[in-house]
Chain A
């Protein structure tokens, strides 16, 4: 198993998309070769959605949820970090599994604007 200590890679604040991308870049080759990955969040205190969008949300572009559940594990992720993770993953799933959601929303806005 490939264990990645997040605090060593990005520090104690997991908040930016750049840092999320660093994590993504490290784990994607492992996942592609079906190697198990563990993300260890020991020492991380602050989480925000831009980090998770890039670290894990974009995994759903190329990997199925089942495959990711089988290969990717986390250690020491706080309840708050888990909460942000889950919402980011849900958001990404809605998008990647059903791109029509986005299109439908934009169309609604367009109609609303026309009615103004």
Chain B
């Protein structure tokens, strides 16, 4: 008879303490190496970063030939509403209503199951129609497309660098009182610090690895051509928007907020990377940085 281990999901926001809780939960589930049931009785709220992470963690358990069940009957109404609206409950077998509400759908991208061109278009459509294009902030189609192009960089980094066999997991939410729009993207791949250490062949602390990765032109991929602008574009956009970009990767943490960057080593480590993007839904903070400089193309 197989053993089923039960794990209680706590309330999970998106502060560093909540990421510690996610790491600890991930470690416990990993160590259990058994069939798993998650309960929600201790959970009052889940932010998108937690939902994306939980979905990926469930797929990791399944990839080891074990079963996973989320006991949605234990979830308080508020939590069940969130998980219903964003489709997470439906994805994991619950027949609860689903519908958009103020949620941005939970999404799984399994790179091995889908053609790259379809993946590209699916993600762009998701960002355009389910995330920034839902009317929570009134912007022109041109600006929307520009923002989608910038946020695509998060996915491109995950697809290109993480090498996550489990896939990429996304979720978002609009918070009307705070007037913020969030998007969380989690992968369970190699992690930025490990990638940088392998590339530079130096044993560096995670915070230094993240600092390196944030520099314009820094990339651990050298085939083909010069790269490494993705995080620069994201950073610039977040600063224009007065938003916040947080990256938790293994035991490294990067924060872009209020025009400043901060890098830290953390005690807890998670498998892979979670990018947490918070945008202000105030039209004053959405504009083009500048018109492109005139002059020759090269």
Contacts and interface: CB of A to CB of B under 8 A. Distances in A.
Contacts of B152: 15, 46, 48
Contacts, number: 139
* Majority secondary structure, A binding face: helix
Given A21-B224, A58-B226, A72-B298, 4 more contacts: A50-B160, A68-B297, A74-B297, A91-B226
Contacts of B297: 56, 68-69, 72-74, 85-86, 89
Contacts of A83: 288-292
Contacts of B156: 15-17, 48, 50
A92 B204 contact: no
A61 B215 contact: no
Nearest to A39: B297
B17 interface: no
B150 interface: yes
A61 B225 CA distance: 8
B233 A49 contact: yes
The size class of the interface chain B forms with chain A is 35 or more
A49 B230 contact: yes
Contacts of A11: 117, 121
A60 B298 contact: yes
B153 A79 contact: no
Contacts of B212: 106, 109
Contacts of A101: 217
Contacts of A56: 297-298
Nearest to A69: B296
Contact of A95 (B208, B226, B288): B226
A102 interface: yes
Contacts of B218: 105
A50 B288 contact: no
Contacts of B208: 109, 112-113, 116
A13 B230 CA distance: 16
Contacts of A84: 149, 233
Interface residues of A, number: 55
Interface string B206-220: 001001100111100
A86 to B, nearest CB: 5
Nearest to A13: B124
Contacts of A23: none
Given A109-B208, A112-B208, A58 B149 contact: no
A53 B146 contact: no
A18 B168 CA distance: 19
A109 B212 CA distance: 7
Nearest to A16: B120
A26 B254 CA distance: 39
A-B pairs, top 6 by smallest CB distance, nearest first, are A58-B225, A82-B292, A65-B298, A83-B292, A95-B226, A68-B298
A41 interface: no
Contacts of A72: 297-298
Contacts of A17: 156, 160, 224, 227
Contacts of A58: 224-226
Contacts of A91: 216-217, 226, 228-229
A94 interface: yes
A68 B298 CA distance: 7
Given A53-B226, A58-B225, A91-B226, A113 B205 contact: yes
A106 B212 CA distance: 8
A35 interface: no
B117 to A, nearest CB: 7
A91 B145 CA distance: 23
Contacts of B298: 56, 59-60, 65-66, 68-69, 72, 89, 93
A15 B149 CA distance: 7
Contacts of A82: 292
